[in-house]
C-alpha cells in the first residue's frame, strides 16, 4: 500500500472507559460494539487532493473531465482513487450542480444484438466519467419514446441518447415558445423530422456512412458476377434504410445495371422480416441470384428460409448483410457483411453527450465512423 495511506485516516472517535483510539479509514469497524461508539467520515475529494499534493480542481477534472488533463495526471489520480477507496458522492455532486449524473438511452428493441453491443460500450464509458445509464426499451413505439423523453425534461436524467429516427419529444412541444432542447445525441439514425429544419435545432449524431457501406456491399455482389440483385430494406421510414437503399441504387447505376423495382422488398430490422420476404424473393421472375439484406438479422432470417426451400447459398442465391453481429460468423455458410465499429459507437455517443452536458469544447457534433467490408462464404462460391 502507498506510504501516504497512513497519513489519510478517517476521524474515528472511540469512547470507552476513557480510552480513545484512531483507526485507519480503510478499517471497516461496526458503529457500536460493547458500548464502543464509532463515527466515521468517508474519504472525500479534499483528502484525495491532499494525499496527491495537488489542487482539488485538478482532482475533480481528472475524475469527471479526464479529457481536460494530461494522461499522466489522469492515471495518477485514478490510481490513487482506487488505492484509497475513493467513491464519488454523485448525490452531493448532483445537488451542487443540479445534475443527476444519469444518462437516458432509448432503444427500440433490447434483444437486438447490434444494439446490445453498443449499449454495453455505453455503460462502461459512462461509468468512467462518473455517470450511470438508464436503459429504456421503447419496443419501437412512439408513445413510449415520448414518455421516456419526459424523464429528461423532469430532470431525472441529464441527457438522452436515442436510436430512433426522431427525438423523444413531440413536434408541437419542440415548436412551442420557450422550449429548450436538452442535451441529446442520435445514435445510428440521422434525423428526418421536419422539426430539425427549424432554426436553432442541431442534433449531434454518431453513425457510419450508410450510403457508402451499401454501395460497397452491392459492388462486391456485382464483382461476383451478379446482375439480378434483390434488396430487403429495414423500413421506408428509417433514414438508415433510406441511405442504404441510395447506396444500393448508386452501385447499380455505376455498373450500368437497370433498376428493377420488383427486387426492392420493404421489410424491417427483424429475423421474421428476412424469413417472410425470402419466400417472396423466390416468386420473382427472373429469380434474383443475390440479395443484399440491410442488417445481419434480416440476412440470417432470409438464409434460414432459403435453406428450408432447398436453395443453395451462395451457389443459387448469394446473401449479404450489414452489422457483423457475433452470429454472422457462425451461420452456415458464414455471412458476408459490413462491420460497424460497435464499441466506438457506444463510447463516442457517451463522450459526446457528457461533453455537451458539461459544456466542454466539442470539435464535431456529427461524427461518421469507418466501417469494414467482411467477406465470407455466403457470397463466394466454392
Considering the domain architecture, whether residues 256 and 336 belong to the same structural domain is answered as yes
- pLDDT score of 22 more than 50: no
Find residue 137's DSSP bridge partners.
107
Residue 128 maps to a domain = yes
pLDDT of residue 87: 60
pLDDT of residue 8: 39
Please give the order of strands across the beta sheet that includes 318-320: 264-265, 229-232, 290-293, 318-320
More confidently predicted of 201 and 40: 201
Most confident of 54-58, 174-178, 234-238, 329-333: 329-333
Q: Extract the C-alpha cell encoding 300.
A: 440470417
In three-state form (DSSP H/G/I as H, E/B as E, the rest C), the secondary structure along 228-265 is CEEEECCCCCCHHHHHHHHHHHHHHHHCCCCCCHHHEE
The structure's pTM equals 0.73
Considering the domain architecture, whether residues 152 and 257 belong to the same structural domain is answered as no
Instruction: From 199, 198, 229, 204, select the one nearest 215 (Cα to Cα).
Output: 229
Considering the domain architecture, whether residues 28 and 72 belong to the same structural domain is answered as yes
Considering the domain architecture, whether residues 302 and 323 belong to the same structural domain is answered as yes
For a pLDDT cut of 90, what percent of the chain falls above it?
54
Contact of 334 with 378, CB cutoff 8 Å: yes
pLDDT of residue 140: 85
Q: Which of 88, 120, 139 is the last residue of a domain?
A: 88
CATH classification at residue 257: 3.40.50.2300
Residue 198 maps to a domain = yes
pLDDT of residue 112: 84
The 10s digit of each residue's pLDDT in 323-374 is: 999 999 999 999 999 999 999 999 999 999 999 999 888 888 889 999 999 9
Contact of 205 with 212, CB cutoff 8 Å: no
The 10s digit of each residue's pLDDT in 250-299 is: 999 999 999 999 999 999 999 999 999 999 999 999 999 999 999 999 99
Considering the domain architecture, whether residues 214 and 336 belong to the same structural domain is answered as yes
Contact of 270 with 298, CB cutoff 8 Å: yes
Residue 376 maps to a domain = no
Q: Would you place residue 23 in the very low, low, confident or very high pLDDT band (cuts 50, 70, 90)?
A: very low
For a pLDDT cut of 70, what percent of the chain falls above it?
81
Considering the domain architecture, whether residues 217 and 332 belong to the same structural domain is answered as yes
The 10s digit of each residue's pLDDT in 126-151 is: 999 999 999 999 988 999 999 999 98
Contact of 324 with 340, CB cutoff 8 Å: yes
Considering the domain architecture, whether residues 160 and 279 belong to the same structural domain is answered as no
Residue 327 maps to a domain = yes
Give the H/E segment covering residue 320.
Answer: strand 318-320
What radius of gyration do the chain's Cα atoms show?
27
3-state secondary structure of 38: strand
Considering the domain architecture, whether residues 113 and 14 belong to the same structural domain is answered as no
Q: Which of 68, 88, 108 is the last residue of a domain?
A: 88
Residue 378 maps to a domain = no
Domain total of the chain = 3
Find residue 105's DSSP bridge partners.
135, 161
Residue 381 maps to a domain = no
Considering the domain architecture, whether residues 31 and 151 belong to the same structural domain is answered as no
Q: Domain range holding 12? A: 3-88
Residue 375 maps to a domain = no
Pairing relationship of beta strands 372-374 and 337-339 according to DSSP bridges? antiparallel
Average pLDDT over residues 109-113: 83
pLDDT of residue 64: 64
Sign of CA dihedral 4, 59, 42, 104: negative
Find residue 161's DSSP bridge partners.
105, 185
Amino acid at each position: 500500500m502507498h506510504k501516504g495511506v497512513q497519513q489519510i485516516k478517517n476521524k474515528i472517535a472511540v469512547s470507552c472507559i476513557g480510552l480513545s483510539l484512531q483507526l485507519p479509514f480503510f478499517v471497516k469497524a461496526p458503529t457500536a460494539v460493547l458500548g464502543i461508539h464509532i463515527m466515521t467520515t468517508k474519504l472525500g475529494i479534499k483528502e484525495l487532493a491532499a494525499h496527491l499534493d495537488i489542487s482539488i480542481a485538478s482532482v475533480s477534472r481528472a475524475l469527471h473531465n479526464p479529457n481536460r488533463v494530461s494522461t499522466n495526471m489522469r492515471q495518477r489520480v485514478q490510481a490513487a482513487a482506487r488505492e484509497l477507496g475513493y467513491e464519488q458522492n454523485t448525490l452531493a455532486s448532483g445537488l451542487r450542480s443540479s445534475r443527476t449524473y444519469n444518462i437516458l438511452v432509448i432503444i427500440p428493441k433490447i434483444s437486438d444484438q447490434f444494439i446490445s453491443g453498443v449499449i454495453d460500450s455505453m455503460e462502461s464509458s459512462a461509468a468512467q466519467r462518473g455517470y450511470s445509464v438508464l436503459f429504456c426499451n421503447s419496443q419501437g413505439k412512439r408513445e413510449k419514446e415520448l414518455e421516456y423523453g419526459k424523464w429528461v425534461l423532469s430532470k431525472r436524467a441529464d441527457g438522452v441518447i436515442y436510436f430512433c429516427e426522431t427525438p423523444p419529444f413531440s413536434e408541437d412541444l419542440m415548436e412551442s415558445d420557450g422550449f429548450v432542447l436538452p442535451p441529446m445525441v442520435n445514435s445510428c439514425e440521422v434525423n428526418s423530422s421536419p422539426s430539425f429544419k427549424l432554426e436553432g435545432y442541431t442534433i449531434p449524431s454518431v453513425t457510419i456512412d450508410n450510403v457508402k457501406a451499401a454501395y460497397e456491399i452491392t459492388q462486391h455482389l456485382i464483382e461476383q458476377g451478379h446482375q439480378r440483385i434483390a434488396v430487403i430494406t429495414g423500413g421506408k421510414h428509417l433514414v438508415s434504410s433510406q441511405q442504404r437503399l441510395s447506396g444500393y441504387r448508386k452501385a447499380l447505376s455505376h455498373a450500368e445495371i437497370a433498376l428493377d423495382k420488383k427486387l426492392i422488398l420493404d421489410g424491417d430490422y427483424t429475423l421474421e422480416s428476412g424469413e417472410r420476404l425470402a419466400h417472396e424473393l423466390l416468386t420473382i421472375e427472373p429469380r434474383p441470384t443475390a440479395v443484399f439484406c440491410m442488417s445481419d438479422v434480416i440476412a440470417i432470417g432470409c438464409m434460414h428460409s432459403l435453406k428450408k426451400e432447398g436453395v443453395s447459398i451462395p451457389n443459387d442465391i448469394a446473401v449479404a448483410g450489414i452489422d457483423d453481429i457475433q452470429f454472422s460468423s457462425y451461420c452456415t455458410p458464414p455471412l458476408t457483411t459490413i462491420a460497424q465499429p460497435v464499441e466506438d459507437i457506444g463510447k463516442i455517443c457517451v463522450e459526446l453527450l457528457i461533453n455537451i452536458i458539461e459544456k466542454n469544447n466539442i470539435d464535431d457534433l456529427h461524427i461518421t465512423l469507418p466501417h469494414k467490408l467482411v467477406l465470407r462464404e455466403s457470397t463466394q462460391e466454392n
